[in-house]
Amino acid sequence: MEQPVISDYGFLSDCRSGALVGRDGSVDWWCPDRFDGSGVFGRLLDPRAGHYRLAPVGAGGPGHRIERAYHPDTLVIRTVHHTPDGSVAVTDALAAALGARAHDLGMESPAVLLRVVQGLSGRVRMALDFAPRPENGLLIPYLHEQPDGGIRADGGPTVLVLRAGDVPLHAGWRGVYEEFEVSAGQVVGLDLAYAPAYGRPPARLDPVLALKETVRAWEAYREHHKYPGRFPELVRPSATVITGLTYARSGAVTAALTTSLPERMGGERNYDYRYSWLRDFAMTMRALWVAACPYEASRLFDWVTRSIGRIGDEPVPVLFGVEGERDLSEHESSHLAGHGGSRPVRVGNDAWRQRQLDVPGEVISGVWRLRDYLGQTFDLELREMVLGLTEQVASTWQLPDRGMWETRDEERHYMSSKVLCWVAMDRAVRLADRLGEKADPRRWAAVRDEIRATVLHDGWNERMGAFTGSFGSADLDASALFLPVVHFLPANDPRMRSTVAVIERELGTEEGLIRRWNTDPAGFLLCSFWLVECLAMAGEQERAEELFARAAGHANDLGLFSEQVDLVTGAQLGNVPQALSHIGLINAAWRLTDPAAF
């Protein structure tokens, strides 16, 4: 089988883990224990790393046509295959626990992948191709035929049990391949259950009933989340994707489902995004509030405060594991070929070791956004966290760092990092009356004003007519677009208007996207949505709406975004689904609803 392109995939989630299923009916990614766990299907990164395909025999040939869509307000995908012999629907989902609702899907997730086949017309012959490869493709498990006609896959730390209703399954040495016919009105339910080798046995579910229960769980999410702004047909699905990327046991929002999908095909910038970034915290909190997800916002906030712990002399890590782990040491999986041959394939992310001065600003900004819900007087741990972060910024803001794009070369004085240091001090001054007697708003305000003056002097490049990426550099960086978004400068300030014009001219593309910097070969969706916000705040509503529509148009047929878009082919690039791209859409939609929103 050829490796599908990134945009071919649909996203399934039980808020504990996620799976990717291609248009060809192949599940090519699933780490069933948790988002950042070990995979049992990894064809996404190597054709030999495991898959589970269910599709008509001869799919992709003459006369075969596919339609697919999410069941509204869910992450349940229904794919209809039209063949010369008839039509059949395959509905895919990761099962919810009995009685669950979307915000707690992952609390007691049974870790079961559901696939229900329904004959619509004629008589269609289906092919099932099951080739699990646990430990990210390192292991070929033993396959055992079960008395009920199912297959048990055993190997290393993993147990998988596959059942296919009345369809008997037979074990081969490397996998299972079966063909069966489905006629109009006939339903065949399949369930694939995971369990750790030395724990509870895999769950056993009725696939048809479990699918109905899973749909109800997702629908209940929408019943309690009433987005009031413009473009609800785009915001609602994006909010559902963010919920699907939320690890329900802790409330952490993972940056993406996958690791090592390339920013450039054949390139080396292939990183593991299956963790939660503090750098994204304020943007995520804003998007959750915009999308009317207060429960998710409060749980994310609780996770952040617990993960950070006491503030010491060392920089706060930029990212954590989904249960708050700090040590995410990176290694390369040399046995995997990489998506489209893009190597290395990485597990872990060494950005956790970097100094990124923007992190405290993101966290304190998130606290400020939640201030009305946290009370007039903060509890001791929250006070200590905000005070510790504020003092850390006051003593370190003049240092160089790696910047928000996590460069792996030398440290620099990144303009975006300094601006977020200003955000930290500005929001701390605003919160001072809730921080107790240790608050020092007069000194903090002086530091804030010094940072601002430094950015305006050293961040501005007169020759370029723009704020640039780092002090003393003429290199542009699209992160300058968020200066109005964080209210460092008004969008209609002459320096900001000039910066926007230069970035559009030098970093913009014919497709209406924005690259992060001059050497970036692809359009970066988050930066493109920042441009929409800048234009809306500057009163250019019509242009903002036009660019919003063009950026949103780069989603795949299921409304999913990766991180970037290839400027030549229009193909999606980078890990998928990418939380920040969906967050950028939500925040831009709200800015178009209310340009003055803080």
Residue 395 has pLDDT above 60, yes or no: yes
CA nearest to 573, candidates 362, 340, 401? 340
Which residue, chain included where needed, has tokens 């008997």? Answer: 168
pLDDT given at position 106: 59
Compute the distance between CA of residue 206 and CA of residue 436 in angstroms, rounded to an integer: 56
Residue 347 has pLDDT above 70, yes or no: yes
pLDDT given at position 120: 98
No. of helices (H) and no. of strands (E), the chain: 14, 24
Tell me the mean pLDDT in the region 133-161. 97
Annotation: CATH topology of 6-223? Beta-galactosidase; Chain A, domain 5 (2.70.98)
581 contacts 16 by C-beta, under 8 angstroms: no
Which residue, chain included where needed, has tokens 């320096």? Answer: 495
Compute the distance between CA of residue 180 and CA of residue 499 in angstroms, rounded to an integer: 61
In percent, the amount of the chain with pLDDT more than 90 equals 89
Q: Where are the domains of the chain?
A: 6-223
pLDDT tens-digit series, residues 533-561: 999 999 999 999 999 999 999 999 999 99
pLDDT given at position 477: 98
Tell me the mean pLDDT in the region 155-175. 96
pLDDT given at position 376: 83
pLDDT tens-digit series, residues 78-128: 999 999 999 999 999 999 987 776 556 656 899 999 999 999 999 999 999
Token digits of residue 283: 């943007």
Tell me the mean pLDDT in the region 573-598. 96
For the stretch 457-463, contacts whose Cβ atoms lie closer than 8 Å and that sit 24 or more positions apart, written own/partner, are 458/413, 459/415, 459/418, 459/419, 460/495
**3-state SS, residue 579:** helix
pTM of the model: 0.97
Tell me the mean pLDDT in the region 528-533. 98
Cα–Cα distances in Å, from 299 out to 98, 280, 285, 316, 521?
22, 15, 10, 20, 37
pLDDT given at position 375: 83
Indicate the burial class of 92 (C-beta count within 10 angstroms; 0-12, 13-18, 19 or more). buried
Token digits of residue 344: 């290395």
Compute the distance between CA of residue 27 and CA of residue 295 in angstroms, rounded to an integer: 31
pLDDT tens-digit series, residues 212-245: 999 999 998 777 778 999 999 999 999 999 999 9
Residue 436 has pLDDT above 60, yes or no: yes
pLDDT given at position 373: 85
Compute the distance between CA of residue 42 and CA of residue 576 in angstroms, rounded to an integer: 14
CA nearest to 566, candidates 556, 558, 574? 574
Indicate the burial class of 123 (C-beta count within 10 angstroms; 0-12, 13-18, 19 or more). middle
| Cα dihedral sign, 273-274-280-284 | positive
Tell me the mean pLDDT in the region 375-388. 92
389 contacts 311 by C-beta, under 8 angstroms: yes
pLDDT tens-digit series, residues 450-490: 999 999 999 999 999 999 999 999 999 999 999 999 999 99
